[in-house]
Amino acid sequence: MKWKFINVLLLTLGVYVLYNAYNVLAGFFTGVRGTMVIYRLGFEIPLNGQSLLGYGLFFMILGVLFLLAPMLINRIRMRRGVTEKV
């Protein structure tokens, strides 16, 4: 039961981070520029092309890693023979 909760938590966190990556990259592709900053996941991201693209790609990679983490954890647990009682 504990591992199912952890898996759901990691998947939820991955979707949330990917949503923020989408918001940041949408600002890059629509051409939002200026001297202001936006706040995403605790980061102040300046509204210039390089920062939006960099942070957006970083959030995307981080979100994909969170989405893949439950599969990797389960694969490692199965190799070690650790099973959960139902």
25-74 tens-digit pLDDT? 888 887 777 778 888 888 888 888 888 889 999 999 999 999 999 999 88
Q: Per-residue pLDDT averaged across 68-81, rounded?
A: 86
59-71 tens-digit pLDDT? 999 999 999 999 9
- pLDDT at position 4: 87
Query: Dihedral of CA 39/17/50/33: which sign?
Result: negative
Beta-carbon contacts of residue 60 (< 8 Å; ≥ 6 apart): 18, 21, 25
pLDDT band at 75 (very low <50, low <70, confident <90, very high): confident
Q: CA Rg, the chain, in Å?
A: 17
